[in-house]
């Protein structure tokens, strides 16, 4: 029985990581396309550079960070919200 639970937990964690990486990669490509450095995007969003880098690497941001991130990237908030919706598996526990 316990093996089943561990496999389910492992799959859930792998899914969350995959969705987080997809979200982060999209954020990174958008940042690069608008010509912003990592440091500049972080500064404009009120985040530490390490926080922004972690998100691009696949760490899931707090939903409250999405609006400042969209502002830093020059995106309408609904665009980043749509991306978050598509990648919603990253926020599932």
Domain regions of the chain by residue span: 2-91
On the 0-12 / 13-18 / 19+ scale of CB atoms within 10 A, 71 is: middle
Q: What is the C-alpha to C-alpha distance for residues 32 and 93, in angstroms, rounded to an integer? A: 30
Report yes or no: 48 and 79 within 8 Å, Cβ to Cβ: no
- Render each residue's pLDDT in the chain as its tens digit; 93 residues: 455 557 778 888 888 889 899 999 999 999 999 999 999 999 999 999 999 999 999 998 998 999 999 999 999 999 999 998 888 888 776
Q: How far apart are CA 48 and CA 54, in angstroms?
A: 10
CATH assignment, 2-91 = 1.10.260.40
Note the pTM of the prediction, 2 decimals: 0.85
């Amino acid at each position: 029985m316990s093996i089943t639970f561990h496999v389910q937990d492992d799959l859930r964690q792998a899914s969350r990581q995959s969705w987080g990486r997809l979200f982060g990669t999209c954020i990174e490509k958008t940042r690069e396309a608008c010509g912003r450095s990592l440091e500049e995007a972080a500064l404009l969003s009120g985040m530490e550079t390490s926080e922004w880098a972690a998100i691009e690497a696949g760490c899931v941001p707090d939903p409250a960070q999405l609006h400042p991130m969209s502002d830093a990237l020059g995106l309408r908030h609904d665009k980043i919200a749509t991306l978050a919706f598509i990648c919603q598996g990253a926020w599932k526990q």
